[in-house]
Chains A and B, each alone.
Chain A
């Protein structure tokens, strides 16, 4: 099935724990993105990758890291989770940074 998958769907995490959110796309898109969505705020870009092997920081990168070892996968890691990282996380991809973005179903993360 073409599209973007994210795992897990939801997660409750103790503060201080390490967590990796997974994102895989099969559309062979070059660009991938991680956003967080909080009530009352717009989507905020955490990190992005314009092509495999490169990554960049978005608006709110602190506390998060990413890697892009290949075209399909773009995992997001929280090294030591804090309650302010409680949010819904969306992964997205596009053919280039000049094209529309397609979104995964999201991961709902709660940090206690």
Chain B
């Protein structure tokens, strides 16, 4: 079966750095996405990785290792508004997205 694993919940301090991990086992791989979802709102796109390595976009970076079936999302200089759920999704061989259950990130002052 297809499986995306990420921690259920993480807590971090304002101004700090946090890394959210995602491991996957899917039928084929055509890219990995990270989305942010604030409570009661729609998911919004953060990043996309299809090749191994680090993609940086402002305070957010995303890393991919295809051989290990592993990705992480790195958030720097955390702000209170970063409190949200972070969803990892893998595009499989049918070009459909398989989603993890999401990691709820709690930021404390």
Residues of A within 8 A of B (CB): 35, 40-45, 48, 58-59, 90, 97-98, 100-106
Q: Are B42 and A105 in contact (CB under 8 A)?
A: yes
Chain B contacts for A58, CB-based, 8 A:
96
Choose among A43, A45, A97, A100 the residue that contacts B87 (Cβ–Cβ < 8 A): A43
For the residues of B in contact with A, the DSSP-based class is strand
Interface residue total, chain B, C-beta cutoff 8 A: 20
Q: Are A48 and B96 in contact (CB under 8 A)?
A: yes
CA gap between A35 and B99 in the complex, in Å? 11
CA gap between A43 and B33 in the complex, in Å? 13
CB of B84 closer than 8 Å to a CB of A: no
Chain A contacts for B48, CB-based, 8 A:
100
Closest chain B residue to A100 by CB distance?
B45
CA gap between A58 and B99 in the complex, in Å? 13
Known: A42-B101, A43-B87. A97 touches B42 (CB 8 A): no
Choose among B44, B96, B101 the residue that contacts A45 (Cβ–Cβ < 8 A): B96
Chain A contacts for B87, CB-based, 8 A:
42-43
Chain B contacts for A59, CB-based, 8 A:
96
Instruction: Using A100-B45, A103-B43 as known contacts, list a sample of 13 further A-B pairs with CB atoms less than 8 Å apart, ordered by residue number in A.
Output: A35-B99, A41-B101, A43-B87, A43-B97, A44-B99, A45-B96, A59-B96, A90-B42, A97-B96, A98-B95, A103-B42, A104-B42, A105-B41
Known: A42-B87, A90-B43. A100 touches B33 (CB 8 A): yes
CA gap between A106 and B37 in the complex, in Å? 12
